[in-house]
């Protein structure tokens, strides 16, 4: 059995590329896996951006197993299709009654990054109906796939964690000194592509409330904004006391800044059915991570993460947790230790790759049996 493996790969600046590179190497321990070439059965990694355009099309033309890194592809279609084609695809998913709604969504697409309505319509019916199986990383993504008519098995496989080569302590200390972070300070950080869904405005306001009373806190916002509008809107808050900015952090730079961080703030709302690779990486490195509560994060055990509920109390709840952590840094270390233990047990690369291989083999042999029967 030869497995075709279709995904963006490094140097593409995307979490899916990093994930796929690690998975590809691990899968090759079990058999022949061809990067971005067809095999006896193909594995298609799908996400919500233009890097997945040709992969999505091939998944329709040569059905195999799709991996839904995002279970909401509405924004993908907004970027890829013209108005008429978008409306047809929407109707294909939800019925003729939805044509007027589709037209309104198209006209209002400039606000799609933050408007919850767009996240309520994932638009994945065509690809999950065509696919022989679907792989997801959390319960909500699995539910969305089934609700949209997944024809084959839906496999829930945890997001993998490949332990990085950790920097020596002196490099971490040197970086904190360069950032102006003392050993007694608590460094909060946000990592990754900075979109409206990462609740940056909420994080900045909550941090400002804490900073007014706790001068031993700093906030690092690391990453590039996905669009100009939020960057302009938050310019003043990003220049506030105690806030530091850096752009995209590749490879070792990311690991170094993550190692220097005490608490990672990784809120996501509205959710797109995705499991955050950044959250898994920071947890695996023993860092305390604050996430948005929901099906996407439900598999993380209590005491291994801090959950903030989306909604009217989000900012107040986040600020309360930041106060608590700033005053009790030992609690952050305890949570990080529990997180690392959980990730090591359930998200280890070889364990995840073995689950992938079982899913691929089962799907392949089922197809062979069906062909023989006919």
Q: Are residues 136 and 241 in the same domain?
A: no
User: Within a domain: residue 101?
Assistant: no
User: Within a domain: residue 25?
Assistant: yes
d(CA 137, CA 203): 26
Cα 59 to Cα 92, 134, 181: the distances in Å are: 17, 11, 48
User: Within a domain: residue 106?
Assistant: no
d(CA 102, CA 84): 10
Cα 47 to Cα 17, 52, 125, 140, 370: the distances in Å are: 10, 6, 15, 16, 30
Instruction: Please state the rounded mean pLDDT for residues 265-269.
Output: 96
Q: Are residues 9 and 143 in the same domain?
A: yes
Give the three-state DSSP class for 65: strand
d(CA 47, CA 18): 13
Q: Are residues 251 and 366 in the same domain?
A: no
Supply 319's token pair.
């600020």
CATH of the domain at 17: 3.40.50.2000
Q: Are residues 237 and 216 in the same domain?
A: yes
User: Within a domain: residue 340?
Assistant: yes
User: Within a domain: residue 146?
Assistant: yes
Q: Are 266 and 221 in contact (CB under 8 A)?
A: no
Give the three-state DSSP class for 63: coil
Torsion of CA 359, 364, 366, 372, to 10 degrees: -170
Q: Are residues 189 and 276 in the same domain?
A: yes
Q: Are residues 30 and 134 in the same domain?
A: yes
User: Is the model more confident about 372 or about 339?
Assistant: 339
User: Is the model more confident about 84 or about 233?
Assistant: 84
Residue 367 has pLDDT above 60, yes or no: yes
Order across the sheet with 2-6: list the strands.
32-35, 2-6, 41-46, 65-68, 133-136, 153-156
Q: Are residues 175 and 227 in the same domain?
A: yes
Per the DSSP assignment, residues forming a β-bridge with 266 are 291
- pLDDT bin (cut points 50, 70, 90) of residue 273 is very high
What pLDDT does residue 237 have? 86
Supply 305's token pair.
């993460």
Q: What are the φ/ψ torsions at residue 281 (nearest 5 degrees)?
A: -65, -45
d(CA 42, CA 311): 40
Supply 100's token pair.
């007027």
d(CA 154, CA 132): 9
Range of the domain at 336: 169-346
Q: Are residues 360 and 340 in the same domain?
A: no
User: Within a domain: residue 16?
Assistant: yes
Q: Are residues 134 and 217 in the same domain?
A: no
Q: Are residues 134 and 242 in the same domain?
A: no
**Number of domain units in the chain:** 2
User: Within a domain: residue 130?
Assistant: yes
Per-residue pLDDT reduced to its tens digit, 223-259: 988 777 778 888 888 888 999 999 999 889 999 999 9
Q: Are residues 149 and 180 in the same domain?
A: no
- Give this prediction's pTM: 0.94
DSSP 299-318: TSPBTTBEEE--STTHHHHH
Residue 75 has pLDDT above 80, yes or no: yes
Q: What mean pLDDT value characterizes the chain?
A: 94
Nearest to 319 by CA among 308, 335, 329, 310: 308
Q: Are 152 and 132 in contact (CB under 8 A)?
A: yes
User: Within a domain: residue 83?
Assistant: no
Q: Are residues 197 and 176 in the same domain?
A: yes
Positive or negative, the CA dihedral 352, 357, 363, 366 is negative
Peptide bond into 11 cis (omega under 30): yes
């Amino acid at each position: 059995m030869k497995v075709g493996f279709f995904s963006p790969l490094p140097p593409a600046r995307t979490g899916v590329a990093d994930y796929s590179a690690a998975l590809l190497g691990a899968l090759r321990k079990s058999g022949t896996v061809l990067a971005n070439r067809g095999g006896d059965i193909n594995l298609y990694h799908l996400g919500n951006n233009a890097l997945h355009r040709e992969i999505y099309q091939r998944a329709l033309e040569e059905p195999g197993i799709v991996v839904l890194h995002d279970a909401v592809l509405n924004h993908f279609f907004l970027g890829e299709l013209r108005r008429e084609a978008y409306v047809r695809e929407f109707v294909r998913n939800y019925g003729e009654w939805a044509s007027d709604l589709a037209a309104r969504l198209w006209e209002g697409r400039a606000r799609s990054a933050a408007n919850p309505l767009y996240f309520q319509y994932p638009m994945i019916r065509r690809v999950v109906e065509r696919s022989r199986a679907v792989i997801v990383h959390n319960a909500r993504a699995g539910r969305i796939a089934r609700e949209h008519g997944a024809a084959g098995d839906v496999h829930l496989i945890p997001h993998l964690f490949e332990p990085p080569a950790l920097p020596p302590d002196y490099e971490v200390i040197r970086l904190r000194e360069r950032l102006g972070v003392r050993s007694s300070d608590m460094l909060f950080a946000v990592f990754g592509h900075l979109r409206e869904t990462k609740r940056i405005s909420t994080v900045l306001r909550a941090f400002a409330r804490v900073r007014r009373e706790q001068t031993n806190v700093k906030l690092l916002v690391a990453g590039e904004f996905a669009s100009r509008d939020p960057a302009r809107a938050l310019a003043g808050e990003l220049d506030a006391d105690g806030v530091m900015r850096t752009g995209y952090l590749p490879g070792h730079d990311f690991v170094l800044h993550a190692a220097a961080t005490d608490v990672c703030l990784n809120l996501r709302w509205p959710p797109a059915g995705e499991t955050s690779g950044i959250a898994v990486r920071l947890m695996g490195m023993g860092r305390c991570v604050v996430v948005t509560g929901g099906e996407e994060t439900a598999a993380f055990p209590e005491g291994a993460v801090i959950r903030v509920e989306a909604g009217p109390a989000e900012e107040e709840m986040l600020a309360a947790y930041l106060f608590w952590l700033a005053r009790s840094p030992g609690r952050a270390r305890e949570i990080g230790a529990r997180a690392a233990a959980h990730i090591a047990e359930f998200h280890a690369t070889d364990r995840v790759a073995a689950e992938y291989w079982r899913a691929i083999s089962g799907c392949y042999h089922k197809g062979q049996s069906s062909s023989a029967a006919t």
